[in-house]
Amino acid sequence: MYKTAKKYFKKLKLFVLYWTRIVFVKNNFKVSLLKKIRANVKRGFLADQWVLYDLDHNNPDDFLSEFDWYRSRYINEPFDFMLNNKIVAAEVMKQYVRVPESYLIKNKGRVTTFQSEEVSDEYVIELLKEKGTVFIKPYGTGKGNGVDRLVCREGAYYINDSQCSEDEMVQFLKGRDDWFICEEIKQSGYASKIYDKTVNTIRLITFKDIHTHKNKVFFAVQRIGTSATIPVDNGSKGGLVSKIDLETGELSAAKSLHNLYVYKSHPDSGEEIEGVKIPGWEQIKETMLRLADRFPYLQFIAWDIVVTDDDLCVIEANTSSGVNIIQIWGGQRKGELGDFYRYHKAIK
């Protein structure tokens, strides 16, 4: 009875997601109503994906859709919940790898330390004075939504790049719930050189090979923020995405999910992107494969990594990855990711 109810609940959830996240979602590209209907009906593509994948000229049957991605989010069941909550995931992962230190959490209106000491919103000000910079994040959402950088510098306070008073900072904190505050990770020189106003993360995907059942590095991109995305680098917010050569760690020219330009250099800093090599790439791959092996009950993990000058830090791990950052480089429905989805019955 429970399994039957769970099955129908999943179908209901996917039905709601189809209408709220595909049919009625706001698009970045202008498309005709007819083209939008074609995109939505043809396996559940976003209208934006029709443009990004150039489905006027490419075969839609070669591409995974947004709806395919939503179905893939259940592949890790019943352990997917762990990666869907940033706090739980960090508490588990910190046994094996560096993660950002979490300082405070606000849940059900109460702010506490991670030693269960209840504090006030004003306490955050003292923490901010001590640390200088911290990040505040919701612990249950993704795509960079609700992420802000809080700064105290020379007695002045900033939320991202906007200066505010101490009282305004406190009111900002009081007006939000379900957040946690963690340290800012200092990124490696190569990432800062490209653009130093955002923390630029690597999205690296590991999954269990359907033939060998051993973890492998399937895909990786370097995400790079812009002046329009501060303080995050997420492609869904308009950040840039550069494909990483898995053998050499070299970056390709970057693309955006919000336009069709190709960026050999950064539009704000002017620094080169194409051809930059990530230092210690082989070690990064080895580290992430060892880490993936620590979770034998997970089939697919999308890691968000910051490379530091002496190692790496895992910002978060995700139970799935949006397909746009993968398929702007080519369709995957008939490729390795499509085969993986089919093996796990996410698609037919």
For 98-140, what is each residue's pLDDT tens digit? 999 999 999 988 999 999 999 987 888 999 999 999 999 987 6
**Per-residue pLDDT at 41 exceeds 60:** yes
Q: Is residue 61 helix, strand or coil?
A: helix
Please report the pLDDT score of residue 2 as a whole number.
Answer: 57
Tens of pLDDT, residue by residue over 87-98, are 999 999 999 999
Domain end residue (candidates: 183, 199, 215): 183
127 and 104 Cβ atoms separated by less than 8 Å: yes
Pair type for strands 156-159 and 262-263: unpaired
- Cα distances (angstroms) measured from residue 203 to each of 44, 220, 249: 24, 6, 13
Give kind and range of the element (H or E) at residue 67: helix 66-72
207 and 137 assigned to the same domain: no
142 and 167 assigned to the same domain: yes
Q: Look at the chain and report how many structural domains it folds into.
A: 3
Please report the pLDDT score of residue 42 as a whole number.
Answer: 82
Q: How far apart are CA 48 and CA 27, in angstroms?
A: 6
Report the pLDDT averaged over residues 76-95: 92
Domain end residue (candidates: 183, 203, 222): 183
Structural domain including 167 reads 102-183
Domain end residue (candidates: 183, 200, 229): 183
Q: In what order do the strands lie in the sheet with 179-183?
A: 118-119, 110-113, 102-107, 179-183, 133-138, 148-153, 156-159, 162-164
Q: Is residue 69 domain-resident?
A: no
Please report the pLDDT score of residue 229 as a whole number.
Answer: 92
199 and 338 assigned to the same domain: yes
Of 216, 219, 188, nearest in space to 290 by CA: 216
CATH number for the domain that contains residue 192: 3.30.470.20
Q: Is residue 72 domain-resident?
A: no
Of 325, 282, 280, nearest in space to 302 by CA: 325
Please report the DSSP string for 245-305 in residue order. Answer: PTTT-BEEEEEESSS--EESB-TTT--B-TT-B-TTHHHHHHHHHHHHHT-TT-SEEEEEE
* pLDDT tier at 146, thresholds 50, 70, 90: confident
Q: Is residue 78 domain-resident?
A: no
Report the pLDDT averaged over residues 196-204: 96
Residue matched to tokens 């993986």:
340
Q: How far apart are CA 98 and CA 287, in angstroms?
A: 11
289 and 208 assigned to the same domain: yes
Q: What is the dihedral of CA 120, 123, 124, 129, to 10 degrees?
A: 170
Q: In what order do the strands lie in the sheet with 262-263?
A: 262-263, 251-256, 240-244, 215-224, 202-208, 300-307, 312-318
The pTM (predicted TM-score) of the whole model is 0.93
134 and 250 assigned to the same domain: no
Q: Is residue 91 domain-resident?
A: no
Please report the pLDDT score of residue 59 as a whole number.
Answer: 96
269 and 201 assigned to the same domain: yes
163 and 205 assigned to the same domain: no
Q: Is residue 83 domain-resident?
A: no
**Burial class of residue 105 in the structure, from the number of CB atoms within 10 Å of its CB (0-12 exposed, 13-18 middle, 19+ buried):** middle
Q: Is residue 81 domain-resident?
A: no
Report the pLDDT averaged over residues 184-202: 96
Q: Is residue 177 domain-resident?
A: yes
Q: State phi, psi for 97 to the nearest 5 degrees.
A: -155, 160
223 and 288 assigned to the same domain: yes
260 and 269 Cβ atoms separated by less than 8 Å: no
Residues of the chain with pLDDT > 70: what percent?
97
Tens of pLDDT, residue by residue over 222-277, are 999 999 999 999 888 889 999 999 999 999 999 999 999 999 999 999 999 999 99
217 and 259 assigned to the same domain: yes
176 and 193 assigned to the same domain: no
Mean of per-residue pLDDT scores for the chain:
93
- Cα distances (angstroms) measured from residue 247 to each of 11, 37, 250: 40, 40, 8
271 and 196 assigned to the same domain: yes
148 and 195 assigned to the same domain: no
Angle at which helices 123-131 and 166-174 cross, to 10°: 120
Its sign, for the CA torsion 345, 83, 144, 273, is negative
Of 151, 142, 16, nearest in space to 84 by CA: 142
Please report the pLDDT score of residue 11 as a whole number.
Answer: 81
